[in-house]
Amino acid sequence: MCLGIPGQVVEITDAENHLAKVDVNGIKRTISVRLLAKDNLQPADWVLVHVGFAMAKIDQHEADLTLEAVKQMGQSYTDELSAFTSSSIL
Amino acid sequence: MKFVDEFRDPAAARALVMSIKELARSDEFKFMEVCGGHTHTIYRHGIEHILPPNIELVHGPGCPVCVIPMGRVDDAMWLAERPDVIFTSFGDMMRVPGSKGSLLEAKARGADVRFVYSPLDSLRIAVENPEKQVVFFAVGFETTAPSTAVTLVRAKELGVTNFSVFCNHVTIVPPIKAILDSPDLRLSGFLGPGHVSTVVGNRPYRFVPDVYGKPIVVAGFEPLDILQSVHMLLAQIREGRCEVENQYSRVVRDEGNPQAIALLGEVFELRPHFEWRGLGFISQSALKLNDRYSNFDAEVRYDMPGIRVADPKACQCGEVLKGVIKPWECKVFGTACTPETPIGTCMVSPEGACAAYYNFGRLHRETAELVGQSART
């Protein structure tokens, strides 16, 4: 549960409620970007996604590094990805 | 240095290991990592066997699933088994054993227990099931607590009345203090947690050098990050410095995330005491919902048993969490206690030292021993 997985912002879907659609390894889901409200996130920005929240803005290089590292975690990564896939936040 | 070949940049890893050896000379060092993600990386990549034998990495209490005491799991089970409740939890908590089994077993017995990815998923379940009470089992350090805070703010904004949180969020600084105060361990320094620090920043760790005279380096999760952080710790010691350094500045800012910290303050307050598995009661080490949010507090809403349960005698999670013993030194490790049938929490979560070692470490250790034997013969 402590994994942070990199996701790329696809669209700010609801600016008032700080919701954005992000792409994590090809899977697109809505997350909350409220914790980064002052970072002025834009489509194509990379963020570290943790339990349905963007917790830090990162650059593409860091996103690549992190994705490679979490993929090596095997089962933990596939569990995290399937949990992300199942997510449908309010 | 066989394992180094698996690294993203083997040449950089080799150079770091060489430099670490030079800095360490023949002195003994013991560094503790307090984050379960680091423990996972260390075992996954066999970093303990790449480092010279006079540098020992000790695994600390940084897995939030592992530190939840049995009594709290029993309370969660009690809530989950109420017929009017939909109980929601992160997947990691589902197999954590209480004194009467796990949430997964409660589910098998017919309780409505649902695994969620996000507390906001739990809030959706509440909105979609107005005839039911939906409880979210909140666990985690400052990494995860802001997510619960935002969810509660959102629940309040939306006026959701059938949603509550069973709050078990813990904070990172008090257990580090407890370990520094414990006579069991003589540590040379700390690898500071990466993701927690994206929220709290580097400042909360200043007491480690200032009060206890130990260096601490906030570290990233790549194997190279770990090696570089060990190098930074040794460099501090050799240069006579003792401070908080940030190896993971790619992600962690010195001030952390002020918005997340403000949200924590909006929703939570410190508990006077909280019991940690293996560490006992630590004062001001956990969060509860404050008065503004007490309507959403499952501990206020329900008269939970709240009975303290001693950890199973055979299980030595406490010693593992404090870094006093290694996972394989526990009497039940790998025999009675496995990831499929865990007795202790450290075997449940993939970030737990026992599970990480069970899944990866054994192979590295056995291979390392074989390599060592063949080198000697």
Average pLDDT of B193-208? 96
Q: How far is A13 from chain B (nearest CA, A)?
A: 16
Q: CB–CB of A48 and B198 under 8 A?
A: yes
Looking at residue A90, what is its pLDDT? 76
Average pLDDT of A38-48? 96
Packing angle, helices B223-238 and B36-44, rounded to 10: 110
Q: Which residues of B touch A58 (CB under 8 A)?
A: 250-251
CB neighbours of residue B271 within 10 Å: 17
User: Is the CB of residue A73 less than 8 Å away from at least one CB of chain B?
Assistant: yes
Structural tokens at position B18: 């060489």
Q: How far is B159 from chain A (nearest CA, A)?
A: 13
Structural tokens at position B309: 């349960």
pLDDT of A3 higher than 90 = no
AA identity, residue B266: E
User: Is the CB of residue B36 less than 8 Å away from at least one CB of chain A?
Assistant: yes
Q: Which residues of B touch A90 (CB under 8 A)?
A: 120-121, 123-124, 127, 154, 158
Q: pLDDT by residue (tens digit) across B37-88?
A: 899 889 888 898 899 999 999 988 888 888 899 999 999 999 999 999 999 9
Q: How far apart are CA B42 and CA A44, in angstroms?
A: 32
Looking at residue B367, what is its pLDDT? 62
The CATH number of the domain covering residues in A5-86: 2.30.30.140
What's chain A's average pLDDT?
A: 92
pLDDT band at B324 (very low <50, low <70, confident <90, very high): confident
The single residue listed with the structure tokens 């001001």 is B284
pLDDT band at B8 (very low <50, low <70, confident <90, very high): confident
Nearest CB partner across the interface for A58, out of B65, B147, B251: B251
User: Is the CB of residue B246 less than 8 Å away from at least one CB of chain A?
Assistant: no
Contact A55, A5 (CB under 8 A): no
Q: How far is B251 from chain A (nearest CA, A)?
A: 6
Lowest mean pLDDT among A1-10, A16-25, A46-55, B264-273: A1-10
pLDDT of B112 higher than 80 = yes
Looking at residue B2, what is its pLDDT? 56
Percentage of chain A with pLDDT > 70?
Answer: 98
User: Is the CB of residue B173 less than 8 Å away from at least one CB of chain A?
Assistant: no
pLDDT of B144 higher than 90 = yes
C-alpha closest to that of B117 among A80, A55, A13: A80
Nearest CB partner across the interface for B127, out of A52, A75, A90: A90
pLDDT band at B234 (very low <50, low <70, confident <90, very high): very high
Lowest mean pLDDT among A5-14, A67-76, B305-314, B322-331: A67-76
pLDDT of B308 higher than 70 = yes
Q: How far apart are CA B332 and CA B305, in angstroms?
A: 30
Q: How far is B200 from chain A (nearest CA, A)?
A: 12
Residue of B212 and A72 predicted with greater confidence:
B212
Contact B194, B13 (CB under 8 A): no
Percentage of chain B with pLDDT > 70?
Answer: 95
pLDDT of B369 higher than 60 = no
Residue of B371 and A73 predicted with greater confidence:
A73
Q: What is the DSSP string of B311-359?
A: PPTT--HHHHHTTSS-GGGSTTBTTTB-SSS-SSGGGTSTTSHHHHIII
Ordered by start, the domain boundaries in chain A are 5-86
User: Is the CB of residue A27 less than 8 Å away from at least one CB of chain B?
Assistant: no
Looking at residue B376, what is its pLDDT? 47
Q: Which residues of A touch B92 (CB under 8 A)?
A: 1
CB neighbours of residue B241 within 10 Å: 11
Contact B155, B149 (CB under 8 A): no
Lowest mean pLDDT among A4-13, B229-238, B271-280, B345-354: B345-354
Residue of chain A nearest B35, judged by CA positions: A2
Q: How far apart are CA B151 and CA B177, in angstroms?
A: 30
Each as own residue / partner, the long-range contacts of residues B100-107 (CB below 8 Å, 24 or more positions apart, any chain) are B100/B74, B101/B77, B102/B73, B102/B77, B103/B73, B103/B76, B103/B77, B103/B137, B106/B77, B106/B80, B106/B81, B107/B80
CB neighbours of residue A23 within 10 Å: 15
Residue of chain A nearest B91, judged by CA positions: A1
pLDDT band at B6 (very low <50, low <70, confident <90, very high): confident
pLDDT of B116 higher than 80 = yes
Average pLDDT of A36-59? 96
Average pLDDT of B294-307? 96
What is the distance of C-alpha A76 from the center of its chain? 16
Looking at residue B377, what is its pLDDT? 46
Q: Which residues of A touch B349 (CB under 8 A)?
A: 1
Q: CB–CB of B121 and A56 under 8 A?
A: no
Q: How far apart are CA A45 and CA A58, in angstroms?
A: 8
Q: Which residues of B touch A86 (CB under 8 A)?
A: 117, 121
Residue of B117, B261, B340, B348 best to disrupt the A interface, most CBs of A under 10 A: B117
pLDDT of B210 higher than 90 = yes
Average pLDDT of B121-129? 98
Contact B44, B226 (CB under 8 A): no
Looking at residue B365, what is its pLDDT? 59
| β-bridge pairing B163-169 and B133-140 | parallel
Q: CB–CB of A2 and B351 under 8 A?
A: yes
